Chains A and B, each alone.
Chain A
Amino acid sequence: MSWLFQFAGGQDLLSILMSLFWFIFMLIFLIYPTFSQKIQLSYMLRDVEKKLLKLKYFRDEVRKRTIDHLNKYSDGNIEVDKGVDRLLGSVVIEPIDRDPYGIMYKLEHIVNTWEETFENEVKALCPKADEKTVKTLTNLVEVARGLDYIYRIIRHYYLLGKKTANIYTVLQVQMILPQVMEIANAYRQASYAFAQGQPIGDGVGVLAVAKLVDGMEKKTYEIAKDTIVQEAFWNGRKLLVLRAKGPGGAVGKPGEGVKKLIEAEGDRVKAVITIDAGLKLEGEESGKIIEGVGAAIGGIGVERYKIEEISKAKGIPLYAFVIYESIAEAITPMRENIAKAAEKVVEKIKNLILEKIDDGATVIVAGIGNTVGIGIT
């Protein structure tokens, strides 16, 4: 025993045990160099697990809200929960892009089929819902599907990282999780907005054009699926105001609408003005209005492609107004400064028309976005 006391500097038994403990601990690091990485991995996995639990809570909450809301418009014989689960797991397969010729029209065909199928499925689950409610309910199911997908992706990388004990897989998930959680929370709020039929930030473009023609004498007609045109005269100029049909949740087919309008009006169209919500950078003010050229329109690109194609062929200039907002603001109930921006952008559109469009000419003004909670003036 004396050698042991000598090793610990001749101190008491507790000091000896402490020294021994540290000696073994240091030895572990020497023999097992990835030990520190294992500890770090377990901390990271615990952090991801906590956020994944929160994601699961959001997913379940949104799924329950969707089923409860759909049940209001269903009848007793339909199993809404099974129908919703089937829709949540459905997929859209993008067209092959190795031969990109005509890909936009292939993409449009697939998206149209998808939208139609999705809407019909919702309609079958909710026979008591009217046309505008079916559109809003379809949006609600799409939100639930989006959140379910986010949850499944994060769970996949968490389990994969845990199974393979790969710190780099877990590290990447942990790095993007703060942004993912922000988007997931926005989806959660969006589901509430769609369930209630509240206007969302993305609808600011539609709100702006609705305010533009409010009080004017006009003719309203449908030009493409869920898309309407309001023809009005203002200061000697003919306005063709295009937007999705509200107040149900729809984005319409603005590209198709603009194409048909230009084909019908011919050379009289002197400009196409698009108004849409755009993603701001961190630090930028929400509701800030930016002016530019080009087609301000998001989505998968089919609608923008159509506007660009026809305007290039006819030599029509494209002007754009973008209202800045964050991704969360775009899909959650509309904020005050975004709603106020819709009023300000109306004045800017009027100034642009007076400046660029001659008396007697025609201008197309397209309000882009989701019309949930925004009626027709």
Chain B
Amino acid sequence: MISGRDVEKIPTPLTHMKCLKCGTINSRPFKEGDYVFKEVEEKCPKCGHNKMRIIGIYVKEKKEKRRVKLF
């Protein structure tokens, strides 16, 4: 019997947004309905403007442990 614990966890991507006024880039976990180039009504953490544009949705890379690579 296979349980949910035995299977790999599905990674959640981050939604990266750019403020349409000051250009500040902010990110948060992906929400259903997000898509790249969508304009969302979210507050900019720097200038407080309430319109931002999604510029990227992707899973952040895990930092690999430093080890000597032969190939």
Contact = CB atoms under 8 A, between A and B. Distances in A.
A324 to B, nearest CB: 15
Interface residues of A, number: 32
Interface of B: 1-2, 6-8, 10-11, 13, 30, 32-38, 54, 56-61, 71
A54 B6 contact: yes
Interface string A183-196: 00100110010001
A57 B34 contact: no
Contacts, number: 75
B10 A247 contact: no
A335 B36 contact: no
Given A53-B1, A338-B58, A373-B57, A333 B34 contact: no
A152 to B, nearest CB: 18
Nearest to B31: A196
Provide the main secondary structure of the chain B interface.
loop
A247 B35 contact: yes
A377 interface: yes
Contacts of A56: 2
B2 to A, nearest CB: 4
A336 to B, nearest CB: 5
B37 A198 contact: no
A85 B51 CA distance: 43
Given A374-B36, A377-B37, A198 B61 contact: no
A45 to B, nearest CB: 17
A198 B13 contact: yes
Contacts of A113: none
B25 to A, nearest CB: 13
B64 to A, nearest CB: 12
Contact of A185 (B8, B54, B71): B8
Contact of B32 (A185, A189, A197, A374): A197
A333 B13 contact: yes
9 contacts: A197-B32, A198-B57, A199-B36, A210-B36, A247-B36, A283-B71, A334-B13, A374-B36, A377-B37
A199 B57 contact: yes
Given A53-B2, A188-B10, A333 B58 contact: yes
A334 B60 contact: no
A58 interface: yes
A261 interface: no
B58 A375 contact: no
A246 B30 CA distance: 18
